[in-house]
Amino acid sequence: MSGTGAAIDTRALEAVLFVSDEPLTPAVLSQALEVDRRTVDDLCDRLQAELSERRSGLVLRNVAGGWRLFTDPETQPVVERFVLSSRQARMTKAALETLAIVAYKQPVTRHQVSAIRGVNADGVLRALVDRGLIEEAGRDEGPGRPLLYATTPTFLERLGLASLAALPSLAPLLDASADGADAADRVADPGEDGNDADDGDPGDDGEDGDDGDDAEHAADTEHADAADDSEPDAPEG
């Protein structure tokens, strides 16, 4: 295929991407199509636009350092229903939690993953390695030199990420968690400022104390008057 022909026809590029089960780098595409790297970039940009214009069920994305075809996000309900009906293995909650820890903490040891999750992570890590989502990434310099684990290009591919830098930030989630903990503490200890205890003591209010003294004085006066009324008058001499 000549360079000129490739520049005006994206069909060969689309066919090569279709039969590939992994992202193809510009270098690989350049060799496969027998064109230079600049032509490959132009072809990929054109194919992206063509798929969008004809409302194709596929989209072209640059992920994990290469180009790959994906299903259009708008087709997700149908594709998801089809995949689930085919009974393909799904990742467990434990696997997702472990994968998230490795993604954000990598390179990380088995012991570190287990400490964060609070349970032994050996089996889950082996399963993720078997799936090709994580891999051994050397050994830690600490005692025993335990194995380190990190995510693979397949992980980026499955999530549709160009690099690890595209992972969502954890800061908003951590801030929300901290705010929730503060709110829970305030609910658990509503009298922290001591004002509620003062409000419950009527003797602290000077006017209330005066009212009590007035009432006590009135009762004493009334009692004295009643005593005077009950005393018989002395006979007139």
E strand or H helix at 62? strand 58-63
Distance CA 176, CA 189 (A): 20
Quick count: other Cβ atoms within 10 Å of Cβ 11? 10
**Domains identified in the chain and CATH numbers:** 3-76 (1.10.10.10), 93-166 (1.10.10.10)
Distance CA 96, CA 103 (A): 10
- Sign of the Cα torsion 148, 88, 168, 177 reads negative
Reference 104, options 163, 50, 47, 164; nearest CA is 164
Asked if 121 contacts 114 with a C-beta cutoff of 8 angstroms, the reply is yes
3-state helix, strand, coil split of the chain in percent (to 5) is 60, 10, 30
Asked if 10 contacts 43 with a C-beta cutoff of 8 angstroms, the reply is yes
Q: What is the DSSP string of 100-121?
A: HHHHHH-SEEHHHHHHHHTS--
Q: What is the pLDDT along the chain (237 residues), one digit of tens a residue?
A: 444 444 457 899 999 999 888 899 999 999 999 999 999 999 999 999 999 998 999 999 998 889 999 988 889 888 888 876 655 567 888 999 999 999 999 999 999 999 999 998 888 999 899 889 999 999 998 888 999 999 999 899 888 888 898 898 888 777 666 666 565 556 555 554 444 444 444 444 444 444 444 445 444 544 444 444 444 444 443
Distance CA 121, CA 113 (A): 7
| Entry pTM | 0.45
